A and B are shown apart, each in its own frame.
Chain A
Amino acid sequence: MNDLIIEAKGLYKTYRGAEKAAVDRIDLTVEKGSFFGLLGPNGAGKTTTLAMLTGLLEPDDGLLKVAGFDIRTSLDEVKRRIGLVPQEISLYPSLTAQENLAYFGMMQGLSGNALNGRIGDCLEFARLTELADKRVETFSGGMKRRLSLAIGIIHEPLILFLDEPTVGIDPASRLFIFENLKAMNANGTTIVYTSHYMEEVQTLCDTAAIMDSGRVIANGRMSALLSRQGKGMIRIRTAPDPTEAVRLDVESLPGAQSAIIKNDLLEIQTQEPEAAIEGVLRLLREKNVKLLSISHGAADLEGLFLSLTGTHLRD
């Protein structure tokens, strides 16, 4: 087992006036050098968890060690070793790219040649060297995201926290961010990544935790998490659209683990795809429901996420 770089035990946080705890005594570990995804529907507690991991919020209870330091007693030591790329762009629009980097670099404690060297590296990293003297207010959304990411790593943190880093950017900038995060992770930086985009997390992360209602409901290596979902997913489209009665009948078929209605699709998790398909086709004939299409795919994180957290709307 690798060294743990984040270790939370019984982590608890509740907001004044709230009926339920935002984070309800969770245990969480992140191995050094891992690419860790933190998932959850709105209100699951992942933002509060991330805020505690980065020192923005103080836990009400529990143990939290980040980079080997207790966050309660050695917060500044923790802060020197972490970087945050917030969901907001978090830049000064009327400053240039270079001035933004210089400001945050100096606030991180860099100066002189070390600072200048890191500014140059970060501009290069963000592919903004040519635009170093341009004000950020003239940048596209993708350029701002790249600069925001560069600021997060200007002090070469051991752990980089990213909160929805690809919201509102073009595919090229998204790809750029993915490639650079992978490269940084390969060079030893531990990355904690939160996103609503399941395919991003599945592609990038080697470990993940799924939170719901303030608790961690699944946690572990990505391969192990996906195996929990079974061997695959069958998706069928019917006319008329699948009803709740059909869903319940399908769920009781041999080989079907669970069935959910997603938009106009009926999605069936299964360990035995052949048996499940046979059973579904027979059922639809018996019910005089017309089959429009059927597909079978491998297990994915989104399926797991939905099966664990449900499909009802969250505020």
Chain B
Amino acid sequence: MHDAGNLTRLYASILKETRLIVRDREALVILFVMPLAFVLIMSLAMQDAFMEKSGVFTVAILDNDNGAVGQGVIAAFSSAGYMKTTVLKDAHDEADVKKEINSGRFKFGVIIPKGATTLAKGRVQRQLNFAKDGSGNGVYVRLISDPAMRVDHSNLVASSLARALAGVENRLLWEAVASLSGMEITPEREKEIREILDGNRPFEEVKAEDATGTRTASPMPTSVQQSVPAWSLFAMFFIVIPLSVTFIKERQLGGLTRLKTMPVPSSVVMAGKAIPYFIINQLQIALMLAVGFFIVPLLGGDALSIGNSPIAVGILTISASFAAIGFGLMTAMFCKTTEQSTTFGGTSIIVFAALGGIMVPKFLMPQFMQSISVISPLSWGLDGFLDVFVRGGGVSDILPEAVGLLSFGLVCLCVAAWRFSLKPR
């Protein structure tokens, strides 16, 4: 008897499933239009929260010094085009500055301590007096930042402050030097002076501090870096609904009954369903990346930057797809009606997304919610993508997330295969 074999059966299954999906408009909207809209809306709407428009950093300055140091910093910050500087009149201490930052009015605060100019001049004088002990602290001008700020933005403001203070230092130094008339500076003398100066710097190194006293360990993504992988993962996992619905309809309409009377292995039927959805997942991520690259910048947002490891991105995409398909098949096997599968599938993905930092970025969550988020496979996927996009990670960095997703998918697939069998029972 002629038998074309299981490859033909697999091809037939893939072709059939693809046609069913392509002709299901509601499924296409869920799989492509919904995440695309989310990526666009969230990338643009969350720009301020992610401070992508780094051209304007709001900086509050508490000048307790009212001398050359405070004036120097205010002048330098005011002349920088990327900072909007406000000198706090009513603030009295560090707590006031932090309160302003936490209220969202300012992203950074600079606290110039009382007596800063006097202390700085004293340190300069010690330089000129060739004081070799170098003991005692210099003036510590504090920079306080919103904890939601990206590290590179904090570093930018910190270095601006350091430059401003260096300018003040130079000015104080040369003012003092100018008063010393008639001193001859030979190369040997110059070297000695430099060593003396280094040992008696008037200002400590500037470090950015968080208003809350803690800083997230990782750099923050831009809103497009957050939105594209987040909503792509959401869409990838949302295949649970069309996948389970088509399977349940097939069971209800009797198509599976026919298949059970045919010489068709269960694995062919399962693979015939999985492969088209795997391809859909790849198309989803490609579309979302393209939107991040090309469309978001056209609408005023930042272009998506995906780091330096496209292989890691590929591994994550494949792993997430495997997990999503496994979860979808398992849902299809346990739900008896399409109503059950849409309710359970939709709710579970939304809960996974909410927990996993898809809807609300994890860095905005309280610590205990961040701890809970590890139960969500979407969280693993998002962490992996952010490792690559934001932290410059490679394949080795995303392996834990990829292995987690693959394991989750494998467990789901095994449970689904156990429930689904074309063998008589």
A→B interface (CB under 8 Å): 51-52, 54-58, 75-76, 79-80, 82-84, 86-95, 99, 102-104, 106-112, 114-115, 151
Does B217 belong to the interface (CB within 8 Å)?
no
**B254–A79 touching, CB < 8 Å:** no
Contact: A104 with B2, CB < 8 Å?
Answer: no
Q: Does B424 contact A (CB under 8 A)?
A: yes
Other-chain contact of A58, B3, B9, B263, B425 (Cβ < 8 Å): B425
Q: Does B351 contact A (CB under 8 A)?
A: no
Chain B contact residue count (CB 8 A cutoff): 32
Please give 17 more A-B residue pairs, beta carbons under 8 A apart, in addition to A86-B254, A103-B15, A104-B258: A54-B261, A56-B260, A79-B263, A88-B254, A89-B254, A90-B254, A92-B20, A94-B23, A95-B16, A106-B11, A107-B9, A107-B12, A107-B259, A109-B3, A111-B8, A115-B4, A151-B258
A residues near B5, Cβ cutoff 8 Å: 109
B24 at the interface (CB under 8 A from A): yes
Give the residue among B3, B9, B13, B262 with the most A Cβ atoms within 10 A. B262
Residue in A closest to B24 when the chains form the complex, CB atoms: A94
The answer to whether the Cβ of B19 comes within 8 Å of any Cβ in the partner chain is yes
- Which single residue of chain B is at the shortest CB-CB distance from A76? B263
Q: Is B104 on the interface with A (CB-CB < 8 A)?
A: no
Choose one: B19, B250, B262, B424; the contact of A107 (CB below 8 Å): B262
Interface residues of B in 36-95 (CB under 8 A from A): none
Subset of 12 A-B contacts with CB under 8 Å: A75-B424, A90-B257, A90-B258, A94-B20, A103-B12, A103-B16, A106-B9, A106-B11, A107-B9, A111-B4, A111-B8, A151-B258
**With A86-B254, A89-B254, A106-B4 given, is the CB distance from A55 to B16 under 8 Å?**
no
Q: Does B255 contact A (CB under 8 A)?
A: yes
Pair B253/A91 contact, Cβ less than 8 Å: yes
Shortest Cβ distance from residue B140 to the other chain A in the assembled complex, whole angstroms: 71
B residues near A76, Cβ cutoff 8 Å:
263
Residues of A close to B253: CB separation below 8 A: 88-93
Which A residues are in CB contact (< 8 Å) with B12?
102-103, 106-107
How distant is B252 from chain A, measured CB to nearest CB, in Å?
8
Is A95 in contact with B20, judged by CB distance below 8 angstroms? yes
B318 lies within 8 A of chain A by Cβ? no
Question: In the complex, how many angstroms separate the beta carbon of A305 from the nearest chain B beta carbon?
Answer: 27
How far in angstroms is the closest Cβ of chain A from B64? 74
Chain A positions within 8 Å of B1 at CB level: 80, 109
B263 touches A86 (CB 8 A): no
A-B CB contacts (within 8 Å), total count: 96
Is the pair B257, A56 in contact by a Cβ cutoff of 8 Å? yes
Is B2 touching A110 in the complex (CB atoms < 8 A)? yes
Q: Please report the C-alpha to C-alpha distance between residue A54 and residue B261 in the assembled complex, in whole angstroms.
A: 6
Query: Interface 1/0s, chain B 368-381, versus A by CB < 8 A?
Result: 00000000000000
**Nearest CB of B to A174, in Å:** 20
A52 contact set on B, CB distance < 8 A: 424
Chain B residues, Cβ within 8 Å of A151: 258
Chain B residues within 8 Å of A114, by CB: 2
Residues of B near A90 (CB, < 8 A) are 253-255, 257-258
Docked Cα-Cα span, A80 to B5, in Å, equals 12
Does any Cβ of A come within 8 Å of B119's Cβ? no
How far is B5's CA from A51's CA once the two chains are assembled, in angstroms?
25
Name the residue on B nearest A151 (C-beta).
B258
Judged by a CB distance under 8 angstroms, whether B264 is at the interface is: yes
Interface pair B16/A84, CB less than 8 Å apart: no
Residues 94-108 of chain B, each 1 if its beta carbon lies under 8 Å from chain A, else 0? 000000000000000
Pairwise interchain contact A80-B260, C-beta atoms closer than 8 A: no
Instruction: Determine how close the nearest CB of chain B comes to the CB of A23; give it in whole angstroms.
Output: 14
Q: Are B20 and A84 in contact (CB under 8 A)?
A: no
Q: Which residues of B contact A92 (CB under 8 A)?
A: 16, 20, 250, 253, 255
List B contacts of A84 (CB < 8 A): 257-258, 261
A11 to B254, CA, bound (A): 25
Q: How far is the CA of A109 from the CA of B264 in the complex (A)?
A: 9
Contact A56 B261 (CB under 8 A): yes
In whole Å, how far is A58's beta carbon from the nearest beta carbon of chain B? Answer: 4
A151 and B259 CA atoms in complex are apart in Å by 11
Contact B19 A95 (CB under 8 A): yes
- In whole angstroms, how far apart are the Cα atoms of A52 and B261 in the complex? 10
Residues on A with beta carbons closer than 8 Å to the beta carbon of B264 = 107
Q: Which of B367-409 contact A (CB under 8 A)?
A: none
Chain B neighbourhood of A107, CB < 8 A:
9, 12-13, 259, 262, 264
Q: Tell me the smallest distance from the CB of A213 to a CB of chain B, in Å.
A: 23
Known: A58-B424, A79-B261, A104-B258. Is A99-B19 also a contact (CB below 8 A)?
Answer: yes
Residue interface bits B240-266, CB-to-A below 8 A is 1, else 0: 000000000010111101111111100
Establish whether residues A109 and B255, one from each chain, have CB atoms under 8 Å apart when the complex forms. no
A54 vs chain B, min Cβ distance (A):
5
Identify B424's interface contact among A56, A91, A104, A106, CB under 8 A.
A56
Residues of chain B with a CB closer than 8 A to A112's CB:
4
Contact status A79-B19, CB under 8 Å? no
> In the complex, what distance in Å separates the CA atom of A112 from the CA atom of B423?
28
Query: What are the residues of chain B within 8 A of A94 when measuring CB–CB?
Result: 19-20, 23-24
Question: A102 to chain B: which residues have CB within 8 Å?
Answer: 12
A109 engages B2 (CB within 8 Å): yes
Closest to A99 in B: B19
Which partner residue on chain B sits nearest A95 by CB separation?
B19
B4:A55 contact, CB within 8 angstroms: no
Distance in angstroms between the alpha carbons of A51 and B254 in the assembled complex: 13
A134 smallest CB distance to B (angstroms): 13
Q: A198 to B260, alpha carbons, bound, how many Å?
A: 29
Bound Cα distance A151, B111 (Å): 82
Chain B nearest Cβ from A15, distance in angstroms = 10
CB contact between B4 and one of A83, A88, A91, A109 (< 8 Å): that residue? A109
Q: Which residues of A contact B11 (CB under 8 A)?
A: 106
With known contacts A80-B1, A80-B263, A99-B19, A109–B258 Cβ distance under 8 A:
no
B3–A57 contact, CB under 8 A?
no
Shortest distance between the CB of A113 and any CB in chain B (Å): 11
* A67 and B198 alpha carbons, distance in the complex (Å): 99
Check B16–A99 contact: CB distance below 8 A. yes
